[in-house]
Amino acid sequence: MTVVKTIIAARDAVHRARRSGNKVGLVPTMGAFHAGHLSLVDEARRRCDHVAVTIFVNPTQFVPGEDFEAYPRTLETDLRACEQAGADLVFAPSLEEMYRPNAMTKVSVAGLTKGLCGAARPGHFDGVTTVVAKLFNILPADMAFFGEKDYQQLVVIRRMVTDLDIPIEIVACPTVREPDGLAMSSRNAYLSPPQRAQAVVLSAALFDAGDRIGAGQRDAKELVQRIRDRIESAGPCAIDYVEIVDPETLEPVRSITAPVRICLAVRIGECRLIDNVGADPDASK
């Protein structure tokens, strides 16, 4: 496995791999690896000949008051995990390498970023799309792998790639969960033991709602209220949102007549957790 820290070296490595006839898979991350990250590397390894991983804690996607300075940075551990998972290349740039001091350009996707996490974190998705566009230019891979846990991010990046004609296939990978159902996240480490036990209610409420849709429930407002009530009854928290949305447009739905995505963001203590599940009203037919 090769580790590079400069844009020139990363770009050259990917170009060499592609000139050799290899299909290149890219896994963009902010590090602090858990099994969810490694599942992306595994899928890239399965579908591609050459796997490149990026590790960069991107400051532009943190909004004021968030945990950029405190975000876990475990580069050496992450590099060992990448090597064990079979990555061929890791790009781990510095902040100065990724952002010039006089940079004036950002990439913004309208519409899809106005709701859900975009409403609570203004500017967040501009930071995401800008850094991902830069990574796609630096490491021109054939495929890029993203987890469904960050579902809005996945939809936004797909739209960016379509709108800007970026020649890369976006591959969605299922959310990886703890044995009790909690979606894996680097931020789970911030939870105290009682908070960690409480957080299980998020996935439980989502799966219950999905089951109810499969059983014939069609009123989105009623389901949203049921999810909120269940989460609030589990312990102290602050709900940013619970919404049932169209999986492509991310617009809220009223009557569930087609596949939907049930999404939530909840703060337990100082930790903001997100999760989502898909549901299809016709699945039982």
pLDDT band at residue 285, thresholds of 50, 70 and 90? Answer: low
How do residues 171-188 score in pLDDT, each as one tens digit? Answer: 999 999 999 999 999 889
Contact 88, 51 (CB under 8 A): yes
Q: What is the mean pLDDT of the chain?
A: 96
- Full DSSP string of 260-282: EEEEEEEEETTEEEEEEEEE-TT
β-strands 238-245, 260-268 pairing: antiparallel
pLDDT for 67 equals 78
pLDDT band at residue 66, thresholds of 50, 70 and 90? Answer: confident
User: Domain map of the chain by residue range?
Assistant: 2-173, 186-279
The two domains 2-173 and 186-279 share their CATH topology (first three levels equal)? no
Task: Reply yes or no on whether 50 is catalytic.
Answer: no
- CATH placement of domain 2-173: 3.40.50.620
Residue of 34, 37, 50, 124 with catalytic role: 37
- Its pTM stands at 0.96
Between CA 281 and CA 180 the distance in angstroms is 25
Closest alpha carbon to 67 in 185, 187, 184, 152: 187
How do residues 201-220 score in pLDDT, each as one tens digit? Answer: 999 999 999 999 999 999 99
The CATH class for the domain spanning 186-279 reads: alpha beta
